[in-house]
Chains A and B, each alone.
Chain A
Amino acid sequence: MSTPDVVICPGGPLLLRGEHVIADDDGTEHTTTRPVTAICRCGKSATKPWCDGTHKVIPEKNRP
């Protein structure tokens, strides 16, 4: 059994296991603080680069 450290959730975020530094749209760097972090893929999160569940309220065709 081998567990991926990066998981793409259909229609939702990208899950990242472990400690990482994420550069956002502006190049600002953010360090993960959780064992697993959800990274926004829909572009609509109010807490980018993190997912805040907003993908669930946008039209299905606009979800990643």
Chain B
Amino acid sequence: MPRTGAVLPKPRGPLSEALVAALVGTPAGSADVEVAAIDVRPGNPEDGALSLWMLYELSYRGYAEVDDRLEFDPELVRLRRRLEDDLERQLRARWPGRPAEAAESGFAEALFTMVEADDGPSLARFVQREATADQAIELLQCRSLYHLKESDPVALTLPRLPTASRAALAELQYDEYGGGRPEHLHAHLFAEGLATLGLETTEGSYVDQAPLEVLEQNNAMSLFGLNRRLRGASVGHLAAFEATSSLPCRKMSQGLERLGFPEAIRAYYDEHVEADAVHEQIAARMICEPLIEAEPEIEDDVWFGAWACLDLESRVARHLLERWGVVA
């Protein structure tokens, strides 16, 4: 039977090399085969991040060449756990903690204040004003890692939420997933935009170009979405993501228009100007606030996830802007 799924990325060090070998070396359809111990440390941060990204992909759409049962292979789960613990430790070490105003104004107002105060560099503003067509294409390729599975990581959080938050997240995701119309599904809109530019639309097509910062940004969403204990961080991340979307998407659309890019890719961003003006309110007020009310012990995690979203995006922006010779 022909298998679907993405192509495995090129290894970036000893661990990802060993992982690719293990993934393709395990014969498909043999139920009793387990991956042999992988006792290799990442040779560099990209090696570790790429390995974790590959393991997470087993839980989304898998790979054409890899047996789907390996998603829960004991050795691969152990490796995933090791790598995601490293990522979580790094993030928590950088996290400055819950903002002071959170106690007075409630989550939604404090979140919008935190987002407003965020002074990270903006890729959208750069695209709006001065990016070249090549730079804009490179950014779209980096974004494709997430946009082609837009909203999928937080969908994994849905069954782990209390009643009010669960209903609100389902309502938000119904919109993300096209309101019952595949042609309106956000990931599909992005794929259509890529296609009109002659770019690849298969998930993971551009992972070989993705810098460490983009891999980590994607891995953090999967870390939060796949671990029930991090449900607070998952919806906190969502709230910050939505709250930093409407205005930047307007700038992206204007920049792509300035560059003469086709309507289909601008339509993706235009859709998000409007959709995310709704979603930011739903995420902050109807998903996060009721979750914090029902499970106050995880409020810190909600803030941790929101902070991680801003932090990881500013690292992506700084990396790309520096590489393009722009003073961020």
Q: Which residues of A contact B (CB under 8 A)?
A: 1, 3, 7, 9-13, 15, 33-38, 46-47, 50-54, 56-57
Contacts and interface: CB of A to CB of B under 8 A. Distances in A.
A47 B274 contact: yes
Interface in B249-292: 250, 273-278, 280-282, 285
Given A1-B164, A10-B109, A57-B247, A35 B277 contact: no
A35 B179 contact: yes
A12 B175 contact: no
B312 to A, nearest CB: 21
13 contacts: A9-B281, A9-B285, A10-B109, A13-B277, A15-B278, A33-B179, A35-B174, A50-B274, A51-B277, A52-B273, A52-B274, A53-B247, A56-B116
A53 B277 CA distance: 5
Contacts of B277: 13, 38, 50-53
B206 interface: no
A14 B164 CA distance: 19
Q: Is the interface of A mostly helix, strand, loop or mixed?
A: loop
A57 B246 CA distance: 12
B294 to A, nearest CB: 12
A15 B281 contact: yes
Contacts of A51: 274, 277-278
Contact of B246 (A3, A37, A53): A53
Contact of A12 (B179, B250, B276, B281): B281
B278 A37 contact: yes
Nearest to A51: B277
A3 B319 CA distance: 44
A34 B175 contact: yes
